[in-house]
Amino acid sequence: MDNATQVRLIGEVFAHLDAKTTAQASDIMYHETSAYYSPERLAQEKAILFRKYPLLMGLSGQLPEPGDFLTDDYSGVPIVVVRDRGGDVRAFLNVCRHRGARLVEGCGKAGRAFSCPYHGWSYSLQGKLMGIPDQGSFAGIDKEDRGLVELPAVERDGMIWVIPTPGATLDPDDHLAGLAPELANFGLADYHLYETKVLRRSFNWKMVIDTFLEPYHFGVLHADTVGPLLFPNLCLFDGFGHNLRETLPRRSIETLRSLPEIDWDLITHTAMVYVLFPNTVLVMQIDHVELWRVYPVADKVDECVMYLDFLIPQPVETESAKRHWERNMDLTIRTVDEEDFPVSTGIQSGMASKAQSTLVFGRNEPALAHFQRSINEALAAGS
C-alpha cells in the first residue's frame, strides 16, 4: 500500500477516534436467513460463484519451483495447479484422458511430467499427452487431442487465480476492480508458505467470511483474547466492485499521532482484511499473511471447509523461528475456533429453526453488508 493511502486511512482512523464514530453504511440492511440454509440458494452459489468467478488458489510462494503442484477439489471440480518448466502457472482438470483416474493428490513435486498412477500415461507440465505404455494398442489415437483439459489460470502479483470452467475469460485486474495495485504493493510473491491447515466446520461457508467483517463483536466475544489489542466497533470500509477492504486499527495506532506523516506505517498498527470475492479473505498482519479460502461442502448448506494458508516473510531456519510461527498459528486458530466458530455453529442451528426470516446488519457493519449484497448481485446477474 502506498504511503499516501496509508496516511489518508490513518487520518480517517484518527477522525473516528476523536469523534467516537466508525465507518457507516448508508442504512441498515435486512438479509434473508434463507441465504444460509436454502439448498436452492447453495446450488445457485456453486453454479455461479464457484464456477464463473476467478478463485484464488494460493500465493506464488506455494509453487516456488517448476514441477511444484497443488490440487483443489472443493470448488466442485478436481483441479491441479502446476508451475511448468518455463515458470508459468497452469491449471488442469485433475483427470487422466485414458479412463479418468486422478493424476495427483494433495500437493508436491511432479518432476518433469505427470504420470497417471493407473496405467502410466504421462503428461507434460503443459498438459500435453507424452507417453502411452503399449501405444500399439491405441493405434489411431490423436495424442494432440488427448492432452489434459486446461482451465484458465493467471499468476499476477504473487496471486494464483483459476476459473474452474474451461474456456472462461480470466482477467484479475477486472475482477479486482481497482484493488490490484494496492495488493501488488504488498509483494505477496515474496512470501513463503509456513503451513496450510484445512478446517471443516458445521455452518454455512459464508459465515466464515462474515466473522471477519465487523469489529462490533470484539469487545464482547473477544474481550479476553484479541479484543484488547484492537478498538471494538471501529473500522474503515472501502468497496472495490464485489471485493472490499476493511481496516481494523490496533490501539497502538495512537502512537503515530506524535510522528510526522512520512513515518506513519498503517500495517504495523492495523489488521487489514481484504475480501477477494467470492470466497477468499486475505488478512495482512504485522509480520505475516493469513489466507483463508472457504468452500461449501458438497450439497450441505450447513457444512464448510476452509484452507488457512499461513505465509511468512522469511523461510523458517531456526527452532526459535519455528516456535514463533507455531504460537502465531495456534493463536489464530484458537481465536476463531474457540470463540467465533462456536457462535457460527449456534447461528446455523438458529437459522434451521426458522425462528426469524431476516438478519439485520447495522450501519456500523458496512463490510458485512457489502459482502452479502455483492453475493446477491452476483447471483442475480448470473442466473
Cβ closer to ligand FES: 132 or 343?
132
Question: Residue 96: CB partners within 8 Å, gap ≥ 6?
Answer: 102, 103, 116, 118, 121
Q: Are 237 and 370 in contact (CB under 8 A)?
A: yes
Smallest distance from ligand FES to CB 119, Å: 3
Q: Please tell me the distance from the alpha carbon of residue 141 to that of residue 240, in angstroms, as a whole number.
A: 48
Cβ closer to ligand FES: 114 or 186?
114
Smallest distance from ligand FES to CB 114, Å: 10
Site string for ligand FES, 42-81 (x = CB under 6 A): ----------------------------------------
Smallest distance from ligand FES to CB 318, Å: 43
Q: Please tell me the distance from the alpha carbon of residue 295 to that of residue 280, in angstroms, as a whole number.
A: 9
Cβ closer to ligand FES: 61 or 127?
127
Site for ligand FES in 118-177 (CB under 6 A): 118-121
Q: Please tell me the distance from the alpha carbon of residue 201 to that of residue 199, in angstroms, as a whole number.
A: 6
Establish if 8 lies at the interface with ligand FES (CB under 6 A).
no
Cβ closer to ligand FES: 100 or 111?
100
Count of Cβ atoms closer than 10 Å to residue 118 Cβ: 13
Cβ closer to ligand FES: 98 or 217?
98
Question: Residue 5: CB partners within 8 Å, gap ≥ 6?
Answer: 182, 266
Smallest distance from ligand FES to CB 176, Å: 37
- Crossing angle, helix 39-52 and helix 366-382, to 10 degrees? 80
Considering Cα of 135, then 140, then 145, then 149, what sign does the dihedral take? negative
**SS3 at position 28:** coil
Site for ligand FES in 86-125 (CB under 6 A): 96, 98-101, 116, 118-121
Smallest distance from ligand FES to CB 157, Å: 35
Q: How many residues bind ligand FES (CB under 6 A)?
A: 10
Which of 219, 260, 300 lies closest to 36 in space, CA to CA?
300
Smallest distance from ligand FES to CB 139, Å: 17
Q: Please tell me the distance from the alpha carbon of residue 230 to that of residue 221, in angstroms, as a whole number.
A: 13
Q: Are 231 and 364 in contact (CB under 8 A)?
A: no
Cβ closer to ligand FES: 104 or 160?
104
Q: In 199-309, which ranges are continuous DSSP H helix?
A: 205-210, 218-221
Cβ closer to ligand FES: 148 or 256?
148
Smallest distance from ligand FES to CB 134, Å: 11
Q: Please tell me the distance from the alpha carbon of residue 45 to that of residue 66, in angstroms, as a whole number.
A: 34
Smallest distance from ligand FES to CB 242, Å: 39
Cβ closer to ligand FES: 98 or 192?
98
The residues of the shown chain that bind ligand FES, judged by CB under 6 A, are 96, 98-101, 116, 118-121
